[in-house]
Amino acid sequence: MSDLAPTTGGGAAARTDGDNRYKAVQQKLKTLGTAMDLAANELETLLRGMRMNAQRAEGLAVDIANAELDRKFIEMTNQVSVALGGAAVEVRKLHETAQEVSGLTTDVRRTHARLYEGLDTIRSGRKERTPKPGFFAH
């Protein structure tokens, strides 16, 4: 049937720690975008396999009918085909969502860079320490 196996990462997931420095946020966004791209690719492969298996099951139901086997086997095989087709529709939606999140992550990363890269360059280039956030609010 399918040779897909779940992956366990390999560094695909972004850490969700409290490190909100510019470079850390950029790296987390890059990691998230990469993970979504990988997920979209795997979901596309899964979708193709599910559609192919649904077509096979439908063809098998026809073959069973032509062999004049019991009607219950034809119905069960048709139900498998319909179920795979329905699951493929949902996988397609998930695939589209993963692609959308990947694109939005890229947009967020660019916007974050546009807004904060200059400030990070200034802060990183000086030898004096920067006050903690909220210092000037008092």
Indicate if the pLDDT at residue 9 is higher than 70.
no
Answer yes or no: is pLDDT of 125 > 70.
yes
Residue at 5: amino acid letter = A
In contact, 49 and 2? CB cutoff 8 Å: yes
| 40 pLDDT above the threshold of 80 | yes
CA 29-26-96 angle, 5° bins: 20
**What is the domain partition of the chain in residue ranges?**
22-123
Calculate mean pLDDT across residues 18-24: 89
- In this structure, what is the dihedral angle of CA atoms 39, 93, 107, 7, given to the nearest 10 degrees? -10
Per-residue model confidence (pLDDT) at position 124: 86
Report residue 127's pLDDT band, with 50, 70 and 90 as the boundaries.
confident
pLDDT per position as a tens digit, 59-93: 999 999 999 999 999 999 999 999 999 999 999 99
Reply yes or no on whether the pLDDT at 7 is more than 90. no
Gap between the Cα atoms of 120 and 133, Å rounded:
14
Structure tokens belonging to residue 34: 């990469």
